[in-house]
């Protein structure tokens, strides 16, 4: 009995002349382009591979790096799933036709409508998988909490010379302003931004951790930060971090007027995805209870799926809060108007 060996698409097929045939199973895989770069996500990927047998090939960069790479690759891109970390960036990717709209009853049932792209006939372009809040921190020695408990109060005369933020062109700032445009209207938000510029302690610069440090040092009286930066510092055992946290007060803004601004980490299927079935399986996995816990605990965020409760000590320390209900899709769409508005008032 003879054996004939042939190679087709790198998979070896053994044909037995007697009539019995055996085929080697092809290796299932997907290519993930991710702007998430947290070591704790390793457990997430390992769990998915263990459950499904699908190998994840990963490319990591910041959001701009991911989007530029996909654009340069064009139709030859091998990306299957794209993960980004801000509503403005997700909307930008959608607007550049980078995502392939998908239809998934499971994802639509699990992810609230305000945490995903708008529904269209072709499907939904992206979904949010974890959330973070844009909160206010203040120097307890120089600022009263009651003077900074809303975003609007940051622009009031009481805070002249006290405010510090990131650059007006940073996506975190654009997303907040996009939310304020949606909540309060363009004119009111422009007035707010103009008064924010007048209240600056220094020109906008640095990241969120820099804002927290500047508040602790007294350079700034009040600043904006994402919750996970503050939570990380709260968990630190470094003497300098412990000292800084002792000088800082923390505020959930707008608890009686619209809620704290919420942003997301999210993703979708790449338009030219070569492994579409595996990509959809991974995106649906991200909405599972176990994956939601990995995503949230890994970076001190909250699950996008409302029914999932995370036992995270740092988040529990921050306490309960009222979140805004503004659609993150609308926030992303407003980023062009937000940037124009900030440029007009000199918000550098």
Pair 197, 345: CB distance under 8 Å: yes
- CATH code, 207: 3.40.190.10
Give the chain's domain count.
Answer: 2
User: What's residue 313's pLDDT?
Assistant: 87
Same domain, 275 and 150: no
Confidence of residue 322 (pLDDT cuts 50, 70, 90): very high
Average of per-residue pLDDT across 100-114: 97
Give the tens place of pLDDT for each residue, 42-99.
889 999 999 999 999 999 999 989 999 999 999 999 999 999 999 989 999 999 999 9
Taking the alpha carbons at both ends of the chain, their separation in whole angstroms is 79
The token pair at 163 is 């405010």
Average of per-residue pLDDT across 157-182: 96
281 within a domain of the structure (yes/no): yes
Same domain, 107 and 164: no
Same domain, 112 and 162: no
19 within a domain of the structure (yes/no): no
Q: What percent of the chain has pLDDT over 70?
A: 93
Same domain, 144 and 158: yes
Same domain, 256 and 281: no
Strands 248-251 and 127-139: antiparallel
Same domain, 69 and 42: yes
SS (H, E, C) 236-301: CCCHHHHHHHHCEEEECCCCCCCCEEEEEEEEEEECCCCCHHHHHHHHHHCCCHHHHHHHHHHCCC
**Burial call 72-91: b when 16+ CB within 10 Å, e when fewer:** eeeeebbbbbbbbbbbbbbb
Average of per-residue pLDDT across 249-262: 96
Higher-confidence position of 25 and 322? 322
Same domain, 229 and 337: yes
Same domain, 140 and 86: no
106 within a domain of the structure (yes/no): yes
Average of per-residue pLDDT across 232-237: 91
Domain that holds residue 217: 132-260+330-344
**Nearest Cα to 95, choosing from 333, 298, 323?**
333
Give the tens place of pLDDT for each residue, 19-57.
444 444 567 999 999 998 777 788 899 999 999 999 999
Same domain, 250 and 142: yes
- φ/ψ of 27, rounded to 5, equals -75, 125
């Amino acid at each position: 009995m003879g054996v004939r060996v042939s190679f087709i698409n790198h998979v070896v097929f053994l044909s037995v002349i007697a009539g019995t045939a055996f085929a080697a199973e092809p290796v299932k895989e997907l290519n993930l382009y991710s702007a998430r770069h947290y070591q704790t996500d390793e457990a997430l990927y390992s769990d998915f591979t263990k459950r499904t047998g699908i190998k994840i090939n990963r490319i990591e960069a910041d959001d701009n790096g991911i989007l530029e790479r996909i654009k340069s690759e064009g139709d030859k891109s091998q990306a299957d799933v794209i993960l980004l970390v801000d509503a403005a960036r997700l909307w930008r990717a959608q607007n550049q036709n980078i995502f392939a709209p998908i239809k998934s009853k499971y994802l639509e049932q699990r992810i609230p409508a305000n945490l995903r792209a708008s529904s269209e006939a072709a499907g939904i372009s992206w979904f949010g998988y974890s959330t973070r809040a844009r909160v206010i921190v203040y120097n307890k020695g120089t600022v009263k909490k009651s003077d900074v408990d809303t975003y609007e109060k940051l622009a009031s005369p009481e805070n002249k010379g006290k405010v510090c933020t990131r650059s007006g062109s940073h996506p975190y700032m654009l997303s907040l302003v996009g939310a304020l445009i949606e909540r309060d209207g363009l004119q009111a938000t422009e007035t707010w931004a103009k008064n924010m510029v007048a209240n600056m302690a220094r020109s906008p610069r640095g990241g969120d951790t820099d804002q927290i440090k500047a508040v602790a040092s007294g350079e700034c009286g009040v600043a904006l930060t994402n919750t996970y930066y503050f939570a990380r510092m709260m968990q630190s055992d470094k003497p300098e971090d412990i000292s800084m946290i002792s000088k800082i007060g923390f505020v959930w803004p707008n608890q009686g007027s619209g809620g704290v601004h919420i942003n997301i980490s999210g993703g979708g299927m790449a338009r030219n995805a070569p492994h579409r079935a595996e990509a959809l399986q991974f995106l649906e996995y991200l909405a599972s209870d176990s994956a939601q816990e990995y995503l949230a605990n890994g970076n001190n965020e909250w699950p996008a799926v409302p029914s999932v409760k995370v036992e995270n000590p740092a988040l529990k320390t921050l306490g309960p809060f009222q979140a805004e209900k503004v659609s993150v899709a609308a926030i992303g769409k407003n980023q062009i108007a937000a940037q124009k508005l900030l440029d007009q008032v000199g918000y550098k």
